[in-house]
Structure 1
């Protein structure tokens, strides 16, 4: 199975890795990924609005923590640049290449 690849301006082959999930257990809601994203992939939501059924390991989730947390708004708008992961201080984002 082949994966989506591209070519940089310099002619090098490049494989984009698209965001697949956010570890909301570790997210501190700093908004860095939101600010750096060139597309409309993320949204900042109130931690109280989280559906705890969607949290994979809710035993470690601190549902008493106040504030905001990042959420995936539109995964299909991701271009695979991985800028969000480079600025995330808690390494909350998971990426993977897209099958062609």
Structure 2
């Protein structure tokens, strides 16, 4: 099935790529993606003790929060989250046009 495709203001075709996954193991909780998302798709959550590896415990600046996809169905596919993420945590995928 063909992906959802739009037209830019300049008339060029554009295929949105929606945030479908976030790698919590590489997320540093910087919040850059949260700041650029206009649709409340993301949420910063506290890491549990189980999520913190032994390597993190040795760091003086261990990461205490990570981002999560709280409302992935609200994603518009702009890709801003992926562009600002310094750790490439996001997986963005074109979605098929609904029948």
Q: CA deviation at 1:48?
A: 1.1
TM-score when scaled to structure 2? Answer: 0.85
- Are the aligned partners of 1:4 and 1:98 in contact in 2 as well (CA < 8 Å)? yes
Partner of 2:64: 67
Q: Deviations over 1:15-74 (max 9, x none)?
A: 000000000000000000000011110000001188x6xxxxxxxx72754410001110
Partner of 2:21: 21
- Are the aligned partners of 1:23 and 1:92 in contact in 2 as well (CA < 8 Å)? yes
C-alpha distance 49-72 of structure 1, shift in aligned 2 (>3 A): farther
Q: 2:87 aligns with which of 68, 87, 90?
A: 90
TM-score when scaled to structure 1? Answer: 0.84
Partner of 2:2: 2
CA-based RMSD of the aligned residues comes to 1.8
Structure having the higher Rg: 2
After the TM superposition, which segments of 4 or more aligned residues of structure 1 sit over 2 Å from their partners?
61-66
Uncovered stretches (5+) of structure 2, i.e. residues with no partner: none
Uncovered stretches (5+) of structure 1, i.e. residues with no partner: 53-60
Task: Figure out how many residues of one structure are paired with residues of the other and give that number.
Answer: 91
